Amino acid sequence: MAEFTHFYELFQPSHYNLYIDINRETKTISGQSIITGEAKDTAIAIHQKYLTINSVKVADQAVPFAVDNDQDAINVTLPNAGKVTVVIDYTAPLTDTMMGIYPSYYELDGVKKQLIGTQFETNAARQAFPCVDEPEAKATFDVAIKFDEHEGETVLGNMPEIKTENGVHYFDTTVRMSTYLIAFAFGDMRAKETTTKSGVKIGVFATKAHKANELDFALDIAKRSIEFYEDFYQTPYPLPHSWQLALPDFSAGAMENWGLVTYREACLLIDPDNTSLGVKQYVATVIAHELAHQWFGDLVTMKWWDDLWLNESFANMMEYVAIDALEPDWHIWEVFQTSEAPAALQRDATDGVQSVHVQVEDPAEIDSLFDGAIVYAKGARLLVMVRALIGDDALRAGLKNYFTKHQYGNATGADLWSALGAAANLDVGSIMSSWLEQPGYPVVTAAVVDSQLTLNQKQFFVGAGQDVGRQWQVPLNSNYAVAPKIFSDETIVLGDYQQLRKENGVPFRVNVGNDSHFIVKYDDVLMHDILNDVTNLSAIDQLQILQDQRLLAEGRQISYASVVPLLLQFADSQSNIVNTALYRVANDLKKFVAPDSVEEESLKTLFNQLSAAQVTRLGWLPKAGESNDDQLTRPYVLVAALYAENPDSIAAAHDLFVAHQNELSSLPADIRPYVLRNEVQHFGNAKLFDQLLTAYQTTSDSSYQSGLSAAITSTSDAALIAQLIEKFEDADTIKPQDLRGWFYRLLANKDGQQAAWDWIRNRWGWLQETVGGDMEFTTYITVIANVFHTPQRLAEFKEFFEPKLNTPGLTREITMDTKVIETRVDLVESEKDDVNAAIAQLTI
């Protein structure tokens, strides 16, 4: 068959009868897939991967078939085209890949146990049962599951169970849906349930290694999210239940299977009595993200994987829209500004980055093309831009029509633009295509040229970039009415600057609110005007100034040293996001100083200057009734004070450790990681190392675990580092799903870097075997590129990764990351003297 024919063109299933028997003891699966559909030809193809096909029958008669593993196909020859029912018997191994049907491992009261779950997106349903595994091939499904069942185990599916007969669990027939959204799970579980206003059952499920109250937060957010979306989308949730299930082993963060959403434990369960606000906000946005997909993605699905971005960027925007409605006091859009916006602006400034919309045929390629910063962060930013352009009323009206028109079917990006465009009476598609089909984004330069206020757009690069004259339709969002709504030329002259300034009474600005995907470079005159009164701007606008200046410095459009004095101007801010941006810049200065040098001494002094008053104001312990901003700011300033080796702060953290040493988990979650890290760094020994590692292995609280990991990896003791490296390959201590975090933290520790770097180079083969099939595998390379900044490491990086350039799936990441490190090394080499002089000047 021709390469990458969509199997759906030849065979269109309408209904599946699936029977799947899973044996945990023997680690085998055997099953039968009965597919009824319309064959367009007598030669059809059905997907399978890693399955052993025993027979293919039509009307009780065996029909000829051939397995083609290169195409993940069973090529079947039918007696006739037209309506047909194909019966396929198969077996498969049950493997630990976190894909298809797979076991998750956990311990309860010292006994090792497992929970079986599934992960099918993008193309692993074919590992569980033969099917036409393409998003457009929607059908209804009757699923029946059998397994080596023990008393009291729970079985979950997309739909409710309707009966159990002879140990077989039968689920109700699904609505018309895509294969990648099928899910089921079973094992010993604990549950909490409730019901929405409209009667949808909501449930949260986890292993019994978790306390019952760890499920409460998720239950509340899930319930209110479903209620929110029913109202916002003006479209009812179409299934009887919405289950949220935490799986102990999970490759991604979460997965929107229709009616049975699966999560990494850290993304669903929290200790309601001791979890930081930041973690609560994160978990809430993950749940809201997956539940946004129940409509956008599940009810209406992209026609093909080239529009996966549409699914993900939309859900990524909606998680903020929903949580902003559910928890208005959180000001969750501020988090969008400190996480998604900088991620998108950074990645998208590297030449060679992909565009949001990428043509893709080979489904194996879609995984390797999956660049989170682009697909999620940039995509969401573009949709935020659309929302700002058309407003919520048109967005909701357009979505309602979109859902009505395409429900239980498929759609493309163009279908969405036409629905939104019709509601808003605006050609959304043509504005968006400049953003979706082109990589990168512009820097808009605002300058007074010959007394005229002038704007110009040009692609912005961090590092070498080839200017090919790209232009965008830029929603300007200026505070001066004279600026156009959409700036689509290269240059525009707005008029006499002095006169405009007088008329408007405030400094000239564009991208007010930072909702558009571009950065601004003001000339000195305009920048001075803004900085004169900068602390009266909104927090987002202040953050934007810092963020844009940092990027301009990285892009070598302004000197890095000129950013340094800005820091003190913002240091007293009581806004969490201004502090996030401030400490992002401050921490970025660390790459310019060698460890333990005179320059680092000065930098530490600067950190002390920045943080001292705030540490006094906020103190170490959360105060009753304090603002969210104070809660969220505290960690930044304490971490800064500890980096500065402020003796009072070191002592205060140590005192807290001592006071809680019998029950470290009882340290307030907001500051727990830093108290633990301080202890390891200043008072650490082998005994403490063991204590923390044991706590890591025994706690069920993921946020506590991540603090423990941050502390353990901060040791400077070579013997302990060697011990830790040994644990990297011990899945009973560090689960493969969590290994990247451990590796990253050790690599970022100056005393652990060599050991971590040696480990990954020596054990690359092992790593590839263990997590190589995972679509997040390439992020091991990304984290290395986040850390390295010296010529020596750059050379070593190239020496190791260049020979791997042709490894399928790694090419793009290696190329991008080589460039990222090269650019950073260049920046450090050429700017470090000036930067250090600027730091020294502030700290004399």
Shortest approach of ligand BES to residue 425 CB, angstroms?
32
Q: Which residues of 447-477 are buried (b: 16+ CB within 10 A; e: fewer)?
A: bbeeeebbbbbbbbbbbebeeeeeebbbbbb
Interaction of residue 121 with ligand BES, rule CB under 6 A: yes
Q: Pick from 255, 383, 384, 827: which binds ligand BES (CB under 6 A)?
A: 255
Interaction of residue 253 with ligand BES, rule CB under 6 A: yes
Judge whether 314 and 382 are in contact, CB under 8 Å: no
Among 41, 57, 134, 136, which residue's Cα sits nearest to residue 90?
Answer: 57
Closer by beta carbon to Zn ion, 290 or else 817: 290
3-state secondary structure 435-479: HHCCCCCEEEEEEEECCEEEEEEEECCCCCCCCCCCCCCEECCCC
For the segment 386-445, give every residue that binds ligand BES (CB under 6 A): none
Which residues have C-beta within 8 Å of that of residue 202, sequence separation ≥ 6? 193, 194, 195, 196, 219, 222, 223, 226, 241, 242, 244
Judge whether 122 and 363 are in contact, CB under 8 Å: yes
For the segment 311-330, give every residue that binds ligand BES (CB under 6 A): 312, 315
Query: Binding partner of residue 817 among ligand BES, Zn ion, none, CB under 5 to 8 Å per kind?
Result: none
Interaction of residue 339 with ligand BES, rule CB under 6 A: no
Shortest approach of ligand BES to residue 286 CB, angstroms?
4
Q: Pick from 286, 380, 416, 571: which binds ligand BES (CB under 6 A)?
A: 286
Which residues have C-beta within 8 Å of that of residue 109, sequence separation ≥ 6? none
Binding mask of the shown chain, residues 44 to 73, with x at each position contacting ligand BES by CB under 6 A: ------------------------------
User: Structure tokens of 214?
Assistant: 């760890």
Interaction of residue 290 with ligand BES, rule CB under 6 A: yes
Active site residue 290: yes
Interface with ligand BES by CB under 6 A: which range of 284-292, 332-340, 685-693, 753-761?
Answer: 284-292
How many residues belong to the site for ligand BES (CB under 6 A)?
Answer: 15
For the segment 305-324, give every residue that binds Zn ion (CB under 5 A): 312, 315
In the set 121, 214, 256, 290, the catalytic residue is 290
Closer by beta carbon to ligand BES, 413 or else 442: 413
Q: Is the dihedral of CA 148, 154, 158, 164 positive or negative?
A: positive
Closer by beta carbon to ligand BES, 301 or else 713: 301
Closer by beta carbon to Zn ion, 315 or else 571: 315
Segment (H or E) for 614: helix 598-618
Q: 3-class SS at 497?
A: helix
Interface with Zn ion by CB under 5 A: which range of 304-312, 332-340, 392-400, 627-635?
Answer: 304-312
Query: Binding partner of residue 252 among ligand BES, Zn ion, none, CB under 5 to 8 Å per kind?
Result: ligand BES
Shortest approach of ligand BES to residue 252 CB, angstroms?
3
Shortest approach of ligand BES to residue 814 CB, angstroms?
21
Query: Binding partner of residue 241 among Zn ion, ligand BES, none, CB under 5 to 8 Å per kind?
Result: none
User: Structure tokens of 554?
Assistant: 């990285």
Q: What angle do CA 64, 67, 71 make, to 5 degrees?
A: 130
Question: Regarding beta strands 452-459 and 140-147, do their DSSP bridges make them parallel or antiparallel, or are they unpaired?
Answer: unpaired
Q: Pick from 77, 122, 697, 733: which binds ligand BES (CB under 6 A)?
A: 122
Binding mask of the shown chain, residues 761 to 800, with x at each position contacting ligand BES by CB under 6 A: --------------x-------------------------
3-state secondary structure 540-600: HHHHHHHHHHHHHHHCCCCCHHHCCCHHHHHCCCCCHHHHHHHHHHHHHHHHHCCCCCHHH
Interaction of residue 650 with Zn ion, rule CB under 5 A: no
Closer by beta carbon to ligand BES, 135 or else 507: 135
CA distance 805 to 93: 32
As a whole number of Å, the CA-based R_g of the chain is 28
Query: Binding partner of residue 106 among ligand BES, Zn ion, none, CB under 5 to 8 Å per kind?
Result: none
User: Structure tokens of 682?
Assistant: 């200043």
Interaction of residue 256 with ligand BES, rule CB under 6 A: yes
For the segment 604-643, give every residue that binds Zn ion (CB under 5 A): none
Shortest approach of ligand BES to residue 263 CB, angstroms?
9
Segment (H or E) for 219: helix 216-232
CA distance 270 to 210: 9
Shortest approach of ligand BES to residue 281 CB, angstroms?
12
Query: Binding partner of residue 94 among ligand BES, Zn ion, none, CB under 5 to 8 Å per kind?
Result: none
Judge whether 179 and 138 are in contact, CB under 8 Å: no
Binding mask of the shown chain, residues 239 to 278, with x at each position contacting Zn ion by CB under 5 A: ----------------------------------------
Q: Is the dihedral of CA 290, 777, 824, 756 positive or negative?
A: positive
Segment (H or E) for 114: strand 111-119
Closer by beta carbon to Zn ion, 298 or else 312: 312
Closer by beta carbon to ligand BES, 285 or else 454: 285
Q: Is the dihedral of CA 616, 621, 624, 627 positive or negative?
A: positive
Closer by beta carbon to ligand BES, 226 or else 664: 226
Interaction of residue 571 with ligand BES, rule CB under 6 A: no
CA distance 633 to 631: 6
Binding mask of the shown chain, residues 23 to 52, with x at each position contacting Zn ion by CB under 5 A: ------------------------------
DSSP of 134-187: STT--BEEEEEEEE---TT-EEEESS-EEEEETTEEEEPPP-SB-GGG--EEEE
Query: Binding partner of residue 72 among ligand BES, Zn ion, none, CB under 5 to 8 Å per kind?
Result: none
Q: Which residue has the tokens 């704007």?
A: 455
Closer by beta carbon to ligand BES, 11 or else 120: 120
Q: How many CA atoms lie within 13 A of 93 on its CB side?
A: 4
Query: Binding partner of residue 770 among ligand BES, Zn ion, none, CB under 5 to 8 Å per kind?
Result: none
Interaction of residue 358 with ligand BES, rule CB under 6 A: no
Shortest approach of Zn ion to residue 775 CB, angstroms?
13
Shortest approach of ligand BES to residue 224 CB, angstroms?
17
For the segment 502-541, give every residue that binds Zn ion (CB under 5 A): none
CA distance 112 to 418: 53
Closer by beta carbon to ligand BES, 311 or else 602: 311
Closer by beta carbon to Zn ion, 309 or else 743: 309
Judge whether 293 and 225 are in contact, CB under 8 Å: no
Shortest approach of Zn ion to residue 254 CB, angstroms?
8
Cβ neighbourhood burial of 625 (10 Å; 0-12, 13-18, 19+)? exposed
Closer by beta carbon to Zn ion, 122 or else 815: 122
Order of strands, edge to edge, in the sheet holding 100-108? 100-108, 111-119, 184-187, 154-157
Task: Please report, for residues 44, 142, 246, 285, 430, the alpha-carbon distance to residue 196 in angstroms, rounded to integers and kept in the order given.
Answer: 44, 26, 21, 19, 40
Binding mask of the shown chain, residues 201 to 240, with x at each position contacting ligand BES by CB under 6 A: ----------------------------------------
Please identify every residue annotated as catalytic.
Answer: 290
Binding region for ligand BES (CB under 6 A): 121-122, 252-256, 286, 289-290, 293, 312, 315, 376, 775
Binding region for Zn ion (CB under 5 A): 312, 315
